[in-house]
Amino acid sequence: MLADVTTPQDLDERFRSALGGLAAAPARPDPDAPITDGSALSGTRARELFEAQVASRHLDLAARWLRSFGEGYYTIGSCGHEGNAAVAAALRPTDPALLHYRSGAFYCVRAVQAAGGTGPDTPVPAAAAPAPPAGTGTGTGEVGPAGGDDGHSGTPGRHAAAGPPDPAGAPDGAGPSDAAGPLPAGDDTAGDPPPAAPTGPPLAGTGLATAIRDVLRGLVASAREPIAGGRHKVFGHPDLEIIPTTSTIASHLPRAVGIGFAIERGRRVRPGPGPAVPAGRDWPSDAVVVCSFGDASINHAAATAAFNTAGWCDHSGLRLPVLFVCEDNGLGISVRSPRGWVAQALRAKPGLRYLAADGTDLAAAYDAAAQAVQWVRQQRRPAILHLETVRLMGHAGADAEVAYRAAAELDRDLARDPLVRTAELITSAGLAGPAELLARYDEIGWLVRTLAEDVLAEPKLTSAAQVVAPLAPRRPVRVARAVAEAGATVAPTPLAGLPPPAANRARVFAERVPEQGGPLTLAQAVNATLTDALITWPRAVVFGQDVAVKGGVYGVTKGLRERFGASRVFDTLLDETSILGLGLGVGLAGMLPVPEIQYLAYLHNAEDQLRGEAASLSFFSAGAYRNPMVLRLPGLAYQEGFGGHFHNDNALGVLRDIPGLVIACPARPDDAAALLRTCLASAAVDGSVCVFLEPIALYHTRDLHEPGDGGWLAGYPAPTQWAAAHVPVGRARVDLVGSGADLTVLTFGNGVRMSLRVARRLAREGVGTRVVDLRWLAPLPVADIVREASATGRVLIVDETRRSGGVGEGVLAALVDAGYVGVARRVASVDSYLPIGPAATLMLVSEDSIHQGARSLLAGAGTT
């Protein structure tokens, strides 16, 4: 009977004693036969998976050992979930995977597959397995079940051991087989003898050894860790097609749905000529995307959104090759899933096929996984695999399970230890004896220990610059070039007549190219620019609620679907989380997503997809993965005749602090076109995540000062002028009204038009104003702000967002940081939601309040 808290020692001792109690069955002649009657899992494969399970277990033990002396930073482990080795085995190493944080065994299996396999090709005698000569791997990476799931071969050599050779080498010292043991807390391993003679193929330099080192590097925050480079402990590797997930449970599921969508879309639509989006992955057309998660996670809004969207797509006849894997240990930290709830909830998901298995039984898990994968791959339809697991050693290192679990319950879980069960499977099939398995367990443990000591010496991230380097790299010159090139591809060349792309453009615009028409409103300019974007960026797709058939609730996307078809411009279901998830998935797959969220207020229920997923991916993958995206976000206030908070939301605080996010806010039609082209190019070139914030109230505005003056319209530049009209990220626009010498107004969006009108009034009063349209709310145009502020020494910030958390706070801070020594005032909106009707004007910045602010600033500064 164990104590009521499971420790690494408990687990290790329990494993040893369980194996000690196993009887060796008569050796069997054919290791490639099914491990049990009726199973598709071969003996050879079972042994490979056992090794991955053992490696995963030792990594969990190592995590606690490293933590015990302050050199390990993560102890959420995979103990009890090692059955996910079977899921990896049923998949191909080219199938994109977004994994639960308990996926150590999955990761190890995939690394082995990608490296070409390490399992013995030839039968290993049960009693005394001699070490085969070096290089005796399967070499095929075949992952289908015996009898052929799909006959696929892996991708040998794609994940060969990286970095210096493993110092551990094949353990060759003499000594008792249990000498290596687990890594007890605080144990100094330096004096330990190596384990017994090897009982299987050498481990050094194998995919398994590489996987072990990868994970250990994550635990110690080594800068050499292959996915996050010391920024997080996460399962991920670009060569293994494992896309890192965040710690936010279930938030990766909407992206997985998006990837499934992209894979299917890629099968049907071949992009035409034109610039590619370089950051994209090129998954096989019959790939399956897998995403795994725990049982408590199925209740999360992000998960229910993903299940629903997958079912909705399936119901609509859209193919979606997504495999959801729920690893059900019955608990979310301390909270139990009600008995039977998980099965009932998952079974009931419309459009998703449900399969279940005991995840502690390797053969059962493998058979169910193979069946699920086969279904998804062949039918191109989504499925859920529900694996019942156990959770050993608590939720994480610091979790005292005793507070909420009875000792008997812990004991019951221990009795279902997947490692022991796989060992039973192998020994009872006569494939190996218990002593041999135990010796292999120790060899792998020794390797983990040796590599753990190795990675401790590796460099960590040592400067803030290093940490942020992959966050949102920007290459403005290349972005400018991409804009120019996009223009050049469709520009008519007078000498050669119309080249095909230009002819295509003329056809798309029905011979009425916008530069030859009259001046445009902001809405029309966005529409024309989106049209050009869909011509010049063949991988661009425009989607969202109501954007296609209706053409947007304000007509901004009108005609796009007719011009480009439903494969490039499509309506989605009404779920902002899924709209963004779709963008994340298709962006990763090399498309250029331009989703729309109908109103700024409705971003908030999906914001994590932008903040936690989109903007963080490059950071947590050290730039290996990018999700280019231009999110169109109609918003801000001042709509006449359509009031109320939700359609006039003027709060941007939630966007302003997202690291690396680009926020463009055009006020005028010509800027709308230029800023949108920049966002598209920046997304395509640098993988930027851009929010294109469209002030709704200015969509159809035509005049500036007088009715009919057309002062808010602008011509559309011909493609030959796009380069000259280019606006780099972070550059403001300045208008001098009068002398421009007395006052600097820093503003954006609706504030620009109001400020220009007030500036004319001030000019008549003898005051010269510089009206600075920030245009970019992140990153702010700091250099322009400081230069224009210093030009007058009197700054009025006109901020239509809220006083608290509004854009003005950032502008003021930029001035202070830059050492601005003049005076400054701010007019901003009230910290409130907006009411409907005329009362809204009480809350918002108005022309009168701008004028008043300017006058008191000038009075205070001694200017009349």
Residues 6 or more apart in contact with residue 182 via CB below 8 angstroms? 8, 9, 11, 12, 58, 61, 65, 445
Residue indicated by tokens 């898990």: 365
Instruction: Report the site for ligand TPP in 391-410 (rule: CB under 6 A).
Output: 391, 395
Report which of 841, 812, 815 is spatially closest to residue 829, judged by C-alpha positions.
841
CB-count burial class (<10 Å; 0-12, 13-18, 19+) for 29: exposed
Only one of the segments 67-75, 134-142, 291-299, 574-582 lies at the binding site for ligand TPP (rule: CB under 6 A); that segment is 291-299
Q: Is 783 in the site for ligand TPP (CB under 6 A)?
A: no
Q: Is 346 in the site for ligand TPP (CB under 6 A)?
A: no
Does residue 742 sit in helix, strand or coil?
Answer: coil
CB 779 within 8 A of CB 730: yes
**Among 102, 449, 505, 770, contact with ligand TPP (rule: CB under 6 A):** 102
Only one of the segments 130-138, 244-252, 631-639, 787-795 lies at the binding site for ligand TPP (rule: CB under 6 A); that segment is 244-252
CB 78 within 8 A of CB 103: yes
Q: Strand 242-243 relative to strand 97-98: parallel, antiparallel, unpaired?
A: parallel
Q: Is 234 in the site for ligand TPP (CB under 6 A)?
A: no
Q: Where are the alpha helices (DSSP H) in 247-351?
A: 253-268, 301-315, 341-347
**Among 60, 239, 295, 809, contact with ligand TPP (rule: CB under 6 A):** 295
Q: Is 296 in the site for ligand TPP (CB under 6 A)?
A: yes
Number of residues located near ligand TPP, criterion CB under 6 A: 15
List active site positions. Answer: 647
Looking at residue 389, the DSSP 8-state letter turns out to be -
Q: Is 297 in the site for ligand TPP (CB under 6 A)?
A: yes
**Among 215, 331, 603, 631, contact with ligand TPP (rule: CB under 6 A):** 331
Q: Is 249 in the site for ligand TPP (CB under 6 A)?
A: yes
Report which of 56, 821, 846, 725 is spatially closest to residue 389, judged by C-alpha positions.
56
In this complex, which beta carbon is closest to ligand TPP, that of residue 295 or of residue 442?
295
Q: Is 78 in the site for ligand TPP (CB under 6 A)?
A: no
Q: Is 611 in the site for ligand TPP (CB under 6 A)?
A: no
Q: Is 605 in the site for ligand TPP (CB under 6 A)?
A: no
**Among 3, 134, 333, 348, contact with ligand TPP (rule: CB under 6 A):** 333
Structure tokens at 259: 């990837």
Residue indicated by tokens 């002030």: 695
Residue indicated by tokens 């279902």: 416
Fill in the amino acid letter for 44.
T
**Among 332, 430, 499, 728, contact with ligand TPP (rule: CB under 6 A):** 332
**Among 248, 466, 849, 852, contact with ligand TPP (rule: CB under 6 A):** 248
CB-count burial class (<10 Å; 0-12, 13-18, 19+) for 406: exposed
Q: Is 387 in the site for ligand TPP (CB under 6 A)?
A: no
Q: Is 428 in the site for ligand TPP (CB under 6 A)?
A: no
In this complex, which beta carbon is closest to ligand TPP, that of residue 296 or of residue 305?
296
Query: What's the distance, Cα to Cα, between the start and end of the chain in Å?
Result: 88
In this complex, which beta carbon is closest to ligand TPP, that of residue 79 or of residue 259?
79
CB 449 within 8 A of CB 45: no
In this complex, which beta carbon is closest to ligand TPP, that of residue 333 or of residue 836?
333
Q: Is 80 in the site for ligand TPP (CB under 6 A)?
A: no
Only one of the segments 135-143, 181-189, 331-339, 840-848 lies at the binding site for ligand TPP (rule: CB under 6 A); that segment is 331-339
CB 825 within 8 A of CB 853: yes
Compute the least distance from the CB of residue 758 to ligand TPP, in Å.
Answer: 45
Report which of 591, 595, 590, 538 is spatially closest to residue 570, judged by C-alpha positions.
595
Compute the least distance from the CB of residue 346 to ligand TPP, in Å.
Answer: 13
CA-angle at 519, arms to 517 and 524, nearest 5° = 90
The C-alpha R_g of the chain, in whole angstroms, comes to 31
Compute the least distance from the CB of residue 689 to ligand TPP, in Å.
Answer: 20
Compute the least distance from the CB of residue 472 to ligand TPP, in Å.
Answer: 24
Q: Is 63 in the site for ligand TPP (CB under 6 A)?
A: no
Binding site for ligand TPP (CB under 6 A): 102, 247-249, 293-297, 329, 331-333, 391, 395
